[in-house]
Chain A
């Protein structure tokens, strides 16, 4: 139990980092109604770009900006495969993801794993987040504000604020309309293909950024780091929705729910590993099961347990 409690801050930190990715998944899966599998590749791309640039002495923010742009480029490729080449969205994402494996290897100099030299205090100090800050911020070797929960929490808050603004603009509204009803969107003069590409760019940019954060947190980037990322993203989106959809109506709060969903996911996973003594290799199976179950519940609810519609009294007003 003490092991689990002491692992909690770390789990929450990781959850917050994956939450950034989950917000990216929310944009494609919930807003655009596209299941984008590019994510599994573009997550690693972010880490790969970051680890190489940072190691060669580039400023941490610039390296993260580069990771963002690389992810956006991956999203652009999937978007063009889908809209210009007419490939179904799921397959377009799989193709990009597969290709990205080679690209990610090439970025990392054909090494399956590249580490940041965090044993050097100077290098460690330049990072935005690190596993070492989780303990360090609490035992006083680092200032408290360097705790990953605070740093990534702030990062997420700023991100949500920007997205809230963006989806309230004309351009953002055209993305939402495209996902809600493409026929209507086109009839209102919205280029739905362009909107989809924009959404995929935005989403994969965030996913890649999340990859860059996790790379810093772990102190290394591994070629397999993004494997199953889409499932974690979906889990976070669904957990957030199941728990908060009744209370969080506002768009910014919905994004917050996704982030919280990711934290809950990581805490549950940590609990299972620490308390249940489960072999970590069963994690992927567990994740897949959790997501499958959560996707099944609303479907079965509608199919087998739908309540008969009660006739309303004010028929005239409600059904005019």
Chain B
């Protein structure tokens, strides 16, 4: 579904702040793969997701989604294929617009926007039903401004919006990192449900090793702009945190993993 071939990205080239964020990353996701991504700060996790989403062009390499080469497409055109949830709960929704208006915008992702009504009555009923799944009481607040919601509610709504039109690829960029543990668990649970229901091909960054092990069918660990570990299948099911740390040390010849990952 996703095919990333040897992409590179260097920020601030030619300056003292030069930073090679992606150093020849290749990654292929099969239809329905749920891949968790871990790694320390500056390992290139978010850069990888942003490269796929098209926030800026990559320096070299190619990216295709569902067989379409999107390497040269701008962000808003790639949105046709991609559903996204960001780390910052403020990023994924329009605060000054109503809950139903936000959902209606998401329902039209990747379609030409015309002079047809921005939202119809049938849609409203449909959205109300969908919001019930979240179990946050949002189904009674369709016309509330999103800015009035809590961070957790906004993340859950963003998640629902990302999956409203079945995306070819779902990108989750540490979407529970800014939430308190209880809320984070709830949003993660909703994530699991939504991904399972539509068999969404998913790439999820997390800072929590346990979450990375529990969720998904495949785990990749990034280090210095490269993929250091790629674990899937039965191997992944039996994985423990200690295993993971040991294998990371072997793969990179570094014991950085302990402090960088456990403390972050």
The answer, yes or no, to whether A14 is at the interface (CB within 8 Å) is no
The answer, yes or no, to whether B247 is at the interface (CB within 8 Å) is no
| Inter-chain contact A174/B79, CB cutoff 8 Å | no
| Inter-chain contact B150/A184, CB cutoff 8 Å | no
With a cutoff of 8 Å between Cβ atoms, the chain A residues found around residue B86 in the complex are 183
With a cutoff of 8 Å between Cβ atoms, the chain A residues found around residue B97 in the complex are 173, 176-177, 180
| Inter-chain contact A320/B79, CB cutoff 8 Å | no
Least CB separation from A172: chain B residue = B118
Residues of B within 8 A of A (CB-CB), count:
41
With a cutoff of 8 Å between Cβ atoms, the chain B residues found around residue A180 in the complex are 94-97
User: How distant is the Cα of A180 from the Cα of B90 in the complex, in angstroms?
Assistant: 11
Which listed segment binds A: B38-46, B100-108, B216-224?
B100-108
- CB contact between A318 and one of B105, B115, B150 (< 8 Å): that residue: B150
| Inter-chain contact A169/B118, CB cutoff 8 Å | yes
Least CB separation from A176: chain B residue = B97
The answer, yes or no, to whether B153 is at the interface (CB within 8 Å) is yes
Which B residues, 81 to 99, have Cβ-Cβ distances below 8 Å to chain A? 82, 84, 86, 90-97
User: How distant is the Cα of A181 from the Cα of B105 in the complex, in angstroms?
Assistant: 12
| Inter-chain contact A189/B110, CB cutoff 8 Å | yes
| Inter-chain contact B118/A170, CB cutoff 8 Å | yes
- CB contact between A169 and one of B109, B117, B136, B183 (< 8 Å): that residue: B117
- CB contact between A186 and one of B75, B90, B95, B96 (< 8 Å): that residue: B75
* A interface footprint on B40-63 (CB within 8 Å = 1, 0 otherwise): 000000000000010000000000
| Inter-chain contact A170/B108, CB cutoff 8 Å | yes
- Give chain A nearest CB distance to B33 CB in angstroms: 21
User: Knowing A171-B115, A174-B105, A320-B186 touch, does A184 contact B94 (C-beta < 8 A)?
Assistant: yes
Which A residues, 142 to 169, have Cβ-Cβ distances below 8 Å to chain B? 166, 168-169
User: Knowing A188-B109, A189-B77 touch, does A173 contact B150 (C-beta < 8 A)?
Assistant: no
User: How distant is the Cα of A171 from the Cα of B92 in the complex, in angstroms?
Assistant: 19
- Give chain A nearest CB distance to B144 CB in angstroms: 11
| Inter-chain contact B91/A190, CB cutoff 8 Å | no
| Inter-chain contact A186/B118, CB cutoff 8 Å | no
User: How distant is the Cα of A191 from the Cα of B112 in the complex, in angstroms?
Assistant: 10
- CB contact between B153 and one of A184, A186, A320 (< 8 Å): that residue: A320
With a cutoff of 8 Å between Cβ atoms, the chain B residues found around residue A318 in the complex are 150
The answer, yes or no, to whether B199 is at the interface (CB within 8 Å) is no
User: How distant is the Cα of A177 from the Cα of B110 in the complex, in angstroms?
Assistant: 15
Least CB separation from A187: chain B residue = B84
| Inter-chain contact A192/B76, CB cutoff 8 Å | yes
The answer, yes or no, to whether B116 is at the interface (CB within 8 Å) is yes
| Inter-chain contact A170/B79, CB cutoff 8 Å | no
| Inter-chain contact A169/B116, CB cutoff 8 Å | yes
- CB contact between B92 and one of A169, A187, A190 (< 8 Å): that residue: A187
| Inter-chain contact A188/B183, CB cutoff 8 Å | no
The answer, yes or no, to whether B225 is at the interface (CB within 8 Å) is no
| Inter-chain contact A181/B93, CB cutoff 8 Å | yes
Least CB separation from B78: chain A residue = A189
A–B pairs, 24, beta carbons within 8 Å: A168-B117, A169-B118, A170-B108, A170-B116, A171-B114, A171-B115, A173-B97, A173-B105, A176-B96, A176-B97, A180-B95, A181-B91, A181-B93, A183-B86, A184-B94, A185-B94, A186-B79, A187-B82, A187-B84, A188-B105, A189-B80, A191-B76, A192-B76, A320-B137
Which residues of A line the B interface, CB within 8 A? 166, 168-174, 176-177, 179-181, 183-192, 317-320
7 tightest Cβ-Cβ pairs between the two chains A and B: A189-B79, A180-B94, A173-B118, A170-B113, A319-B150, A180-B96, A189-B109
Which residues of B line the A interface, CB within 8 A? 53, 74-77, 79-80, 82, 84, 86, 90-97, 101, 104-106, 108-111, 113-119, 136-137, 150, 152-153, 161, 183, 186
Known A-B contacts: A170-B113, A188-B106, A190-B113. Give 20 more (CB < 8 A): A168-B118, A169-B116, A170-B108, A170-B114, A170-B116, A170-B118, A173-B97, A173-B104, A173-B118, A174-B105, A176-B101, A180-B95, A180-B97, A183-B91, A184-B92, A188-B108, A188-B109, A189-B108, A189-B110, A320-B136
